[in-house]
């Protein structure tokens, strides 16, 4: 299959492009900075800014018809909502939520005409559970999940599958672009406590590598019986399982106890 992967320059995107190519698929790896793709052994490497219509059109014209779209490109950021710059939040929505919508709008007509296709939207555990200091990122992923679920109902009739992949924490993690974000002293206690929660969520082995997500995406693409949502990682299974089984107050108290949060 011909598969286009957005945000393939690092971490989950690069691992996914590699896993898919090694499985024999024709992979078109894309990134805003195409130099980040230099180490990938894939069929095609193209520049792509999912927030820019002209960039999308140029990329898809060069790529040609595709069977599978993997929407992975994302922008992060960590700061208290009180001081989180609205311009950065807008950029996050443009990339994380509207970027996949733009890409889907471009590829769906061809998929519909051919009678088949797969759209994989890479969400996050934070598309289901919001955490401190990353509210805007979680909001963009909540939005992506809503878009994806609606799209699933709309295009399944045409033979197009939509899959939401929900990774937990992976190594090396997302580049959070925090350098220019405020770090107010009033929240230092929360920063300290939240920074210590990683090992409590991922366990003694630490974060798994991004290949775990790439393999989940490969399975989602090749297995037509894949459900709408795919959880990836033990932390995701644990946290989302608890979230589903508990009411808000019970879930909060349980997570505070597990993570050692007193803030």
- Residues annotated as catalytic are 137
Whole-angstrom Cα distance, residue 15 to residue 165?
14
Q: For residue 154, which of 114, 110, 104, 106 has the smallest C-alpha distance?
A: 104
Q: How far apart are CA 183 and CA 165, in angstroms?
A: 31
Separation of alpha carbons 165 and 145, rounded Å:
9
d(C-alpha 59, C-alpha 50), whole Å:
10
**Is-contact 74 32, C-beta < 8 A?**
no
HSE-CB at 159 with a 13 A cutoff on CA atoms is: 10
Residue carrying structure tokens 């700061």: 79
Q: In the block, which residue shows the tokens 């990134």?
A: 31
């Amino acid at each position: 299959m011909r598969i286009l992967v957005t945000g393939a320059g690092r971490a989950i995107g690069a691992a996914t492009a590699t896993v898919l190519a090694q499985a024999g698929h024709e992979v078109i790896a894309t990134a805003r900075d195409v130099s980040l793709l230099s180490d990938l052994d894939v069929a095609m490497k193209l520049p792509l800014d999912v927030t820019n219509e002209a960039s999308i059109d140029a990329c898809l014209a060069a790529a040609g018809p595709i069977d599978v779209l993997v929407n992975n490109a994302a922008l992060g950021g960590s700061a208290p909502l009180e001081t989180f710059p609205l311009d950065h939040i807008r950029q996050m929505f443009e990339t994380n939520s509207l970027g996949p919508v733009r890409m889907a709008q471009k590829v769906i007509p061809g998929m519909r005409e051919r009678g088949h296709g797969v759209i994989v939207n890479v969400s996050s555990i934070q598309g289901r559970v919001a955490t401190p200091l990353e509210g805007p990122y979680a909001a963009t992923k909540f939005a992506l999940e809503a878009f994806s679920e609606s799209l699933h109902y709309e295009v399944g009739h045409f033979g197009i599958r939509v899959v939401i992949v929900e990774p937990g924490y992976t190594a090396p993690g997302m580049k959070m672009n925090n350098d220019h974000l405020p770090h107010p002293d009033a929240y230092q206690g929360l920063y300290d406590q939240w920074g210590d929660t990683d090992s409590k969520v991922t366990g003694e082995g630490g974060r798994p590598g991004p290949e775990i997500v790439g393999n989940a995406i490969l399975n989602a693409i090749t297995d037509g019986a894949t459900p709408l949502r795919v959880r990836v990682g033990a932390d995701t299974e644990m946290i989302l399982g608890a979230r589903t089984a508990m009411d808000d107050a019970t879930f909060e108290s349980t997570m505070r106890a597990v993570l050692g949060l007193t803030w």
